[in-house]
Amino acid sequence: MTNQNTDPQNKLTEDIEPTRKDSFKILKKILQKHKQHSYTPLIIVILSSLVFGFLALYFIPNKEKPMQADQRIARQSFPDNLIGFFPETSFSISDDFSLPMALAAFSENEILVGGLNVQGNQCRIILYSKDGKKQKETPLPAIPTDLLIPKEGELFLGNLLIAFSNNIGVYDREGNLLKTISAPKKEDAFFTSLAADGEHLWVADALQSKIYRFDLHGQLNLTIEKEKTLDAEKKPFPGFGANNFYLGISLDSQKNLWVADAKNGRLVPFDKSGQWLSSQIWGTHGSSSENDLSDQFFGDNNPISLAFFQDGRVLTIEKDVNRVKIFTPEHTFQSLAASPGFFYAPSYQSDGWFSEEKNKWNLDHENLPVPVLKASILSNNKVILLDQINLKVHFFTEK
């Protein structure tokens, strides 16, 4: 596989000096123009790599002031009975990535991380052992947005699926590209999450606010979208929140598809046929408290991701408050994975981008890197979390 080189003189960015602070403005400008014009998938991928490269440079930790775990800002003290998972170990990926975007696990000792390298000029995935030792490195043509390792009984078993902004690559364990599954023609896309059952591959497209279903041959056979998707009583689905770059999906034990609809603060289910299970929606917006341990999700753009345990419990990830909640199969709050303070980086910036008073990232764009981005749940119920700001991979064990 070869890497695609980005051209700094691209017409979308030639009039902007790519300083680190301006990287957020670059992102906004490109996204605005992206909505107004139709570009080829290749240009979109190249632009994604360029923009996230600039964006990542802003978050590279200062080498003279590294971010250490014991420097994290303290948060609330929750009762011990509310902390259901404790940190077992972690390893740093700061020498390998400036912007890690994707996480998956073959096993507890085979962890895959994908993203942009420290220099900001190469995208790749790296296979790590549990102690953080690199086992293998594979270059990629663009920044991966999600990784999926199919399990027994799931489509593409034995392969690795890598989501990019507008296509999915099916790779073998040696890193060879076997198949490419592309977004529907004439539609721009931003794929954010993958899930597979025995017959289908489900793909979340945050840019279009749609979910696509593909078969083994990569043929699109279903689209979940506003107004066109119905429930059992023919009631039209009202749609996912628009302009959102967090649209996570996962399958429960019944192979129902669940969507983390962050803009609407809820988890939305669909059955195997794509029918909307309107009576089973749960979760609300409205919580402004970091101590709220109900099904209310913090702020106005959470939860950003979810995953299921084999016993039916649900893990949800919230940004800003940086909270990982565990719910029972009946969707009642059960516990936290560590406390919110565990995931906060120290204020190593001094120009107002980090608020000491609020102890939270105070950025002007809601779709920036977040401390907890992706989760992988192992068969032994251990939880692996990708910490995008502190540049670490954390292992959590249930008490």
The rounded radius of gyration (Å) of the Cα atoms in the chain is: 20
The CB density around residue 206, as the number of other CB atoms within 10 Å, is 25
Would the pLDDT of 4 be above 70?
no
**Tokens describing residue 216:** 């083994």
Asked if residue 108 has pLDDT above 90, the reply is yes
| 252-303 confidence digits (pLDDT tens) | 999 999 999 998 999 999 999 999 999 999 998 866 566 667 778 887 788 9
Distance of alpha carbon 323 from alpha carbon 187, whole angstroms: 34
Instruction: Flag the least confident range among 59-73, 132-146, 280-294, 310-324.
Output: 59-73
Q: Which residue has the higher pLDDT, 234 or 18?
A: 234
Q: Which domains does the chain have, with CATH numbers?
A: 23-398 (2.120.10.30)
> Within the chain, where are the H helices?
23-36, 41-59
Indicate the average pLDDT of the chain: 77
User: Both ends of the chain: CA-CA distance in Å?
Assistant: 43
pLDDT at 306 over 70: yes
Q: What is the pLDDT of residue 296?
A: 83
* Residue indicated by tokens 């663009």: 142
Q: What is the pTM of this model?
A: 0.78
Residues in the chain: 399
The whole-number pLDDT of residue 313 equals 97
Taking only the tens place, the pLDDT of each residue in 205-226 is: 999 999 999 999 999 999 999 9
CB atoms within 10 A of CB 207: 23
Best mean pLDDT range from 302-311, 347-356, 367-376:
302-311
- The pLDDT of residue 357: 40
Report which of 309, 286, 282 is spatially closest to residue 376, judged by C-alpha positions. 309
Most confidently modeled range among 78-87, 270-279, 388-397: 270-279
Residue 66: CB atoms within 10 A of its CB come to: 13
